[in-house]
């Protein structure tokens, strides 16, 4: 089955729907991405056009299909030890943290989990030499599809080249036989992590305060009012003096009053008397 190109009206429909549900602002340059990611799904459903699919999403007749579309359209590029300087900073913050309570970290747009398990390896390595408090990590994403991958913690070896060799030996299990070419994160690290679906543009669920939050390379998809809302909500879940990391090429300057930069993509709220 062939589908006609996405019309301006159809693009406006999916653009407005995705913005309402996720806060992501699509530009016309994303038309090809939309077509590519939805084409097979429309074929599976036996629909004749993109417009018919968008009509189905808007009708509310199949609410699960809306989540499927969100899963397909949200961008999920990630890899282990991406922007590695932030994990060195995480290690420094953890080493200085009080030992009388649990050190909590949140990957607020964790995608398929590589960021969460990079955090876990970083903190486990610090603990191995007795320099880390007890810790736990939460990962969240709007996409249920990527969360399923994160929970499985099973990755192609081709996606693990950035993991240091010592970390591969200590914290990863290489597959053999039918699992050749794959890698499983060690159970001890998986037991220190949990995952949940959270939509960052909606009111957040009740959360235990975090010492560190990562929200990296996500804000570029939001317009300024949505950025302000999302960042404000995340800051409200930080302990006093807690750190917020965004992408190293992203900036929060002028977005929220009282934010202090500690380096590329690293911020803390100013402490007031």
Whether residues 136 and 216 share a domain: the answer is yes
Give the total number of structural domains in the chain. Answer: 2
| Long-range Cβ contact pairs of 75-79 (< 8 A, separation 24 or more) | 75/221, 76/111, 76/112, 76/141, 76/143, 76/146, 77/111, 77/217, 78/111, 78/112, 78/114, 78/115, 79/114, 79/159, 79/162
Is 2 within a domain?
Answer: no
Whether residues 89 and 63 share a domain: the answer is no
Residue-wise pLDDT for 16-53, tens only, equals: 999 999 999 989 998 999 999 999 999 999 998 899 99
Whether residues 127 and 250 share a domain: the answer is yes
Cβ atoms of residues 50 and 10 within 8 Å = yes
- CATH code of 16's domain: 1.10.155.10
Confidence class of residue 201 from pLDDT cuts 50, 70 and 90?
A: very high
Model-level pTM? 0.91
Residue-wise pLDDT for 65-117, tens only, equals: 999 999 999 877 899 999 999 999 999 999 999 999 999 999 999 999 999 99
Q: Which domain holds residue 44?
A: 8-73
Is 90 within a domain?
Answer: yes
Distance CA 92, CA 85 (A): 11
Radius of gyration of the chain (CA): 20
Does residue 1 carry a pLDDT above 70? no
Whether residues 68 and 111 share a domain: the answer is no
Q: Which residues pair with 212 in a beta bridge?
A: 105, 243
Catalytic residues: 37, 141
Of the residues 30, 49, 73, the one at which a domain ends: 73
Whether residues 68 and 94 share a domain: the answer is no
- CATH code of 238's domain: 3.40.50.150
Cβ atoms of residues 216 and 246 within 8 Å = yes
């Amino acid at each position: 089955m062939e589908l006609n190109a996405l019309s301006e009206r159809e693009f406006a429909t999916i653009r407005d729907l995705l913005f309402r549900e996720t806060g992501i602002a699509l530009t016309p340059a994303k038309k090809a991405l939309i077509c590519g990611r939805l084409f097979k799904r429309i074929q599976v459903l036996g629909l004749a056009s993109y417009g018919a699919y968008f009509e189905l999403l808007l009708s509310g007749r199949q609410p699960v299909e809306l989540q499927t579309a969100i899963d397909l359209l949200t961008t999920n590029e990630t890899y282990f030890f991406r922007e590695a300087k932030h994990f060195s900073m995480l290690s420094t913050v953890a080493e200085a943290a009080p030992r009388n309570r649990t050190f909590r970290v949140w990957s607020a747009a964790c995608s398929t989990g590589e960021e969460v398990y990079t955090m876990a390896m970083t903190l486990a390595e610090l603990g191995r030499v007795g320099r880390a408090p007890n810790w736990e990590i939460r990962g969240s994403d709007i996409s249920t599809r990527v969360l399923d991958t994160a929970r499985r913690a099973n990755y192609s070896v081709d996606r693990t080249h950035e993991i240091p060799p010592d970390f591969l030996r200590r914290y990863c299990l290489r597959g053999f036989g039918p699992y050749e070419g794959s890698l499983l994160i060690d159970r001890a690290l998986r037991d220190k992590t949990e995952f949940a679906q959270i939509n960052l543009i909606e009111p957040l669920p009740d959360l235990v305060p975090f010492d560190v939050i990562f929200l990296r390379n996500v804000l570029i998809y939001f317009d300024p009012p949505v950025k302000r809302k999302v960042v404000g909500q995340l800051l409200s879940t930080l302990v006093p003096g807690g750190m917020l990391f965004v992408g190293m090429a992203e900036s929060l300057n002028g977005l929220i009053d009282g934010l202090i930069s500690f380096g590329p993509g690293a911020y803390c709220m100013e402490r007031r008397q």
